[in-house]
Amino acid sequence: MDQTDIRILADADELSRVAAEDFSRLSNEAVEAKGRFAVALSGGSTPSGVYELLANPKAHFLAHVPWNKVHVFWGDERHVPPDHSESNYQVAREALLSRVPIPPENIHRIPAENPDASSAAKEYAKALSQFFLLRAGQFPRFDLILLGMGPDGHTASLFPGTTAVFEETSLVVAPWIEKFKAFRITLTPPVLNHAACVIFLVSGEEKAETLRAVLQGPYQPERLPAQLLRPVNGRLLWMVDRAAARLLRR
């Protein structure tokens, strides 16, 4: 059974620091246990604060993470080229990857420049299968998946009302998101739920009502996809700042 933990932190800065500490600790534990650390990064402004801290030479993380053994993936991606300002890869590259000694071959981005989003999803699923040496029907086991949550309750690119929310067999899908009039490419619920550790990073009072609904309301994953996160054999950690947590019942 999964372990769920809710940690309430003072503000976005403390959230970034604590998340960076967990990233550092988990990376070292994974490398010691099996020689590598596989992490899926998230887009959004809250995670980018974590990335900047990890790469900051004045913080101690830069020297303490075994970067040469870190393998970076993404939980989802917008259907844009890698140099686009809205690309999750580009955000992580600028804040983190271009500033740490990680081998280029350890960076496994979603090929979202492919004009056919579903074919990009298939390519990424194939890359995951090869990296994790999966047999048919198996799901990868990430050491860590970082996730954000939108004010509508979406996470990764699992949006309310999309078929991606109900996906049970594919590793990666490319749902059409009507409100953005665009495709997204995303890991599926079973992939997210097979991780050893999933950390949600939620900051800001505009997330407070949704956070309360997700954590303390009825289970309605088609309306609040973040509720789908229930790791099969792993740990689920919500790191939330006080502003986002202000409506939670103690």
- pLDDT class for 4, splitting at 50, 70, 90? confident
Give pLDDT, residue 45: 86
Would the CA dihedral through 37, 42, 46, 52 be positive or negative? positive
Q: What is the pLDDT of residues 113-143, one digit of tens each?
A: 999 999 999 999 999 999 999 999 999 999 9
Distance of CA 166 to the CA centre of its chain: 18
Q: What is the pLDDT of residues 150-167, one digit of tens each?
A: 999 999 999 999 999 999
Helix axes 88-95, 45-55, angle to 10 degrees: 30
Predicted confidence (pLDDT) at residue 2 exceeds the cutoff of 80: no
Q: Average pLDDT of 57-79?
A: 96
The tokens for 116 are 């056919």
Predicted confidence (pLDDT) at residue 1 exceeds the cutoff of 60: no
DSSP 211-244: HHHHHHS---TTT-GGGG---SSSEEEEEEEHHH
CB 16 within 8 A of CB 248: no
Give pLDDT, residue 3: 64
Give pLDDT, residue 181: 97
Q: Average pLDDT of 7-25?
A: 98
Q: Average pLDDT of 20-40?
A: 98
| % of residues, the chain, pLDDT over 70 | 99
pTM of the model: 0.97
Q: Average pLDDT of 74-94?
A: 98
The domains of the chain, with CATH numbers, are: 3-245 (3.40.50.1360)
